[in-house]
Amino acid sequence: MAGTVSLYDSAFKRARVVRQGDLTQVIIDGGGAFVVSTQEFLQVRKWAQSKAGSQNVITDRGRVFEQFTVLIARPGTQAATRGHRVQLEKLADAMKQAGYDLSEWALPPELKHLGRPLPDAPGGKKDADAAADSGP
């Protein structure tokens, strides 16, 4: 069967894969982006390279993307953010350390605080220390 395209090649035909250490970002031409751990990406890639593609890019992307157990996507991406809260928090922390602006990504409500800067405003640690020092 010469000319058979792998599921991986079909799914990533119009996508860019950018590896940044422990993170891999998949940028889909006109279809959004998502970030996964490099380790998980390599496992899914190996799986997808062993399967034959259907020549339907949308179907093949769906088959490959459903193999990722933990991913953080941009709003409007074919693959939605998914995974256990703890794993998503670790991935989001790694993204933040790598310089990603988490406010641009679709985080679940319980992790939205990771995308916001910490307040230095009233009620912060500085104010609590100042109030303790100025006591009676």
Helix (H, G, I), strand (E, B) or coil at 36: strand
Helix then strand then coil, % of the chain, to nearest 5:
45, 20, 40
DSSP 2: T
Range name among 5-9, 28-32, 79-83, 130-134 with the lowest pLDDT average: 130-134
The answer to whether the beta carbons of residues 88 and 72 sit under 8 Å apart is yes
Range name among 52-61, 64-73, 108-117, 125-134 with the lowest pLDDT average: 125-134
Rounded CA separation 1/28 (Å): 28
- Per-residue pLDDT tens digits for 71-116: 999 999 989 999 999 999 999 999 999 999 999 999 998 888 876 6
**What is the helix (H) or strand (E) element at residue 34, kind and residue range?**
strand 32-37
Question: What pTM does this model have?
Answer: 0.79
How long a stretch of residues is the chain? Answer: 136
